[in-house]
Structure 1
Amino acid sequence: MESNADDKVWDLTFSSSVSSVPAIEVDFDNVSNAVTDPSLIPLRQYDPDGLRTYLVLDPTMRTAVTGLFDFDTLDIPTQSLFDGRAAEENAEVAPYLVEATVASDDRVPRFNRDFLKRHWGQNTGIIVRSHAPFDAVRKHFRKFTKLRRESGGGWFFFRFWDPRIASIYLRTVQHSGERAEQWFGRGLIDSYIVEEMDGQQATIFRAGLPVKPSNTPLRSVILAEWELQPFRNSAYKRDMEKMAQALKADFKPELKAYTPEAIVSMIRPTLERFMGYGFRRKEHLHVIAAWGLFFGIDFIAKDPDGVLEQICRTQTSEADRFAALKKRMAQFGLPESTA
């Protein structure tokens, strides 16, 4: 999902206006071996119920595994979710729909076997089950490649085909009847199978409410703040973990006895305080976190003249305030860092 996440990754508030009734059912299966796992049977065996098996794939992630772009040589129906010039110009990066339905148990496509052996757990795409033909499924998913936010800001690419995005998003909208209608197309889509935990878990998302016949066209998805917030929370957690790893590398002797998880718990209060002052740049927060580790969470209060507090509250740019903080902290013997 493309967004200006760096600007708001530290905003941790969350609220949802959706109901408590599950509109999307969630089930999961632990996967020890994708080649034999029961939840991935649709890629290995014929389905007498007539459910077809599709995948929405990311060519960039797939190429990272195969070493070359191969969508033009696959032995199954394949087509970009983009059309016309956009499809041509983005041929190697645009999402693709492929049909991997097994016609009979003795005719499993080469693509399916390769996907199970090499691509499951590599974030190359999501599995979709549907009774609908290829063109109908493609038309359905084309509606979601570019979305808008309620808060404005124009269109942006929504990478729902990335398991890391799909996992967070489908769990977030689990209680929204409207979103269930939109993403499952009023019965068009039977289920989504999404890899989680680096492929150690296969999570199945199904519509949890009966399909109500309607002639009213489905509304376009316009993402609300409550749908976007979990992505910011996830990015925040990921960035905190990266920062802890970097600090541990910068100060190996001093932090040798501390795990990254312990370092996260130690730096979080300091970072959240400074984010409250409007500090957002990660290179600044990295150094501030180091000060918190070595001078204490409340190191601002330890300034006998209150200069640090004054600097933080000054109505100047973040860069100017950080420069002033460094100058003041130098007087107390700030720790050296590679950041």
Structure 2
Amino acid sequence: MANGSSSGSPAKRSGPRLEQTLHKNVQLLDIQRGVHPRRTVPEALQDLIFPPGETDTVLYAILDAAKIDDLQAVLEDAIIPHRRLFTGDEEEGFGDVAPWLVVLSEVDTLTRLLFTHLEGEDTPWNIARFEPGILFRASPDFDAVWNHWRGFYRMKLESGSSYYFRFWEPACMAAYLNYIKNDADRVTQWFCREGAGIDQMFLLENRPLQWLLTEIEAVPKKYTQPCSRDGKPLTLTAGEVGAISQARLERDIEEVARRIEKTFGAHLDEDRPKDMVFQRVQGLFGRMMPAGIKQLDHLYLLACWEVFYGPRFEEKDPQDELRKICLSPAQEAKKV
């Protein structure tokens, strides 16, 4: 079991480690009107996602049903291998929004949709913008791969309480894997299990100013180890949880900034810096969350004020009432 600390990355040990390559300013596909045959992935990523002559691995995705309308029906219509990761009580309670393991190919429409972005369109098939899942190349043994991934969404904290890790969210997964990249035990658990080894992983993120693709692989290649967890949930360290939580917070900030730009962009100064809204939202979160205002809808409201009235808007009240309210011990809903 890994022994990560609450600060910094775990110490490097003998065994496999993760190598990460960041592909910046990825250009996703457009509607490809008049193009035949249409591309399934961007040309610059073609040989990365579908290596020429590769026969030992296949391309999988773990997709979030909460982010793709009628995902089960889409998968059934596409006639591609798929299976829900949740079973039993979890399937009963969360089946409609559960993650699915899916096999993809170069000719699947779903593969094309995962790499297509139509700016400004709210159509149901414009799904890449929601970061609906993660992609990876792995063993063709579907059952082994399915069993492998089922061991990770229900985990334990060091306190003993349960923790549901939504590892199919690209930003959270990227942050977590970056944290454990030199921890041989953890890398083995995630990437090097016998019969279900993960050859490469691809995490596509819709960041405020660009699309990023993180390519991740375990080295040395072909390092494998038998599964020996005996069905017991993994225990997440405080440091690992911190890395995941920080990534989720950053994405919340970005999403609030994106909503403000979309809703009010026409009313803002055309000559503003590209990251002005993001910087103000980030500053607002940094002040209000320690003051006890943590609900996203409340932060969104205050972030709008921050954008329009300027940084530290609460200090511009001549009567100083806004600042006092923000810092008061009152309940969050009452403050807002």
**Aligning the two structures, in what range does the TM-score lie when normalised by the shorter sequence?**
0.5 to 0.7
Structure 2 distance, partners of 1:144, 1:231, is 14
Structure 2 distance, partners of 1:286, 1:28, is 30
Match of 1:38 in 2: 47
Match of 2:289 in 1: 275
Q: 1:27 aligns with which of 21, 28, 34?
A: 21
Do 2:201 and 2:216's aligned partners in 1 also have CA atoms closer than 8 Å? yes
1:186 CA drift (Å) = 3.9
Residue 297 of structure 2 is aligned to residue 318 of structure 1: no
1:284 CA drift (Å) = 4.5
Map 1:43-82 to 2 at 5 A: 45=53, 47=55, 51-58=56-63, 60=65, 64=69, 69-72=73-76, 74-82=78-86
Q: Which runs of 5+ in 1 are unaligned?
A: 1-13, 101-108, 323-339
The amino acid that maps onto 1:82 is: F
Structure 2 distance, partners of 1:294, 1:127, is 39
Could you say what the CA RMSD is over the residues aligned between the two structures, in angstroms? 4.3
The amino acid that maps onto 2:141 is: P
SS in 1 for 2:73: coil
Do 2:66 and 2:98's aligned partners in 1 also have CA atoms closer than 8 Å? no
Match of 1:136 in 2: 144
1:196 CA drift (Å) = 1.6
Structure with higher Rg: it is 1
SS in 2 for 1:196: strand
The amino acid that maps onto 2:144 is: A
The amino acid that maps onto 2:290 is: G
**Residues 231, 312 of structure 1: alpha-carbon distance in 2 compared, 3 angstrom cutoff:** same
Do 1:35 and 1:116's aligned partners in 2 also have CA atoms closer than 8 Å? no
Structure 2 distance, partners of 1:134, 1:184, is 15
**Residues 254, 87 of structure 1: alpha-carbon distance in 2 compared, 3 angstrom cutoff:** closer
1:31 CA drift (Å) = 6.8
Q: TM-score, normalised by structure 1?
A: 0.64
Do 1:18 and 1:175's aligned partners in 2 also have CA atoms closer than 8 Å? yes
More helix by share: 1
Structure 1 distance, partners of 2:202, 2:297, is 34
**Residues 238, 82 of structure 1: alpha-carbon distance in 2 compared, 3 angstrom cutoff:** closer
Q: 1:159 aligns with which of 160, 166, 170?
A: 166
Larger deviation, residues 31-40 vs 300-309? 300-309
The amino acid that maps onto 2:50 is: I
- Per-residue Cα deviation, 1:28-51 (whole angstroms, up to 9, x for no partner): 566766175101225x7552xxx1
Do 2:256 and 2:300's aligned partners in 1 also have CA atoms closer than 8 Å? yes
Do 1:245 and 1:260's aligned partners in 2 also have CA atoms closer than 8 Å? no
Structure 2 distance, partners of 1:180, 1:317, is 42
Match of 1:326 in 2: none
Q: TM-score, normalised by structure 2?
A: 0.65
Do 1:193 and 1:202's aligned partners in 2 also have CA atoms closer than 8 Å? no
Do 1:241 and 1:261's aligned partners in 2 also have CA atoms closer than 8 Å? no
1:53 CA drift (Å) = 1.2
Residue 109 of structure 2 is aligned to residue 114 of structure 1: yes
- Per-residue Cα deviation, 1:127-175 (whole angstroms, up to 9, x for no partner): 433346332222211212322333454342x333344443333233222
Provide the identity percentage.
Answer: 23
1:89 CA drift (Å) = 7.3
1:313 CA drift (Å) = 4.6
Map 1:1-339 to 2 at 5 A: 15-19=7-11, 23-27=17-21, 34=41, 37-41=46-50, 45=53, 47=55, 51-58=56-63, 60=65, 64=69, 69-72=73-76, 74-83=78-87, 87=91, 93-99=97-103, 112-120=107-115, 122=128, 123-131=131-139, 133-156=141-164, 158-187=165-194, 188-197=196-205, 203-208=214-219, 211=223, 217=229, 220-244=233-257, 249=263, 255-259=269-273, 261-266=275-280, 268-269=282-283, 271-286=285-300, 288-289=302-303, 297=311, 310-322=324-336
Structure 2 distance, partners of 1:134, 1:261, is 43
The amino acid that maps onto 1:95 is: P
SS in 2 for 1:71: helix
Q: Which runs of 5+ in 2 are unaligned?
A: 1-5, 29-38, 117-127
Do 2:85 and 2:150's aligned partners in 1 also have CA atoms closer than 8 Å? yes
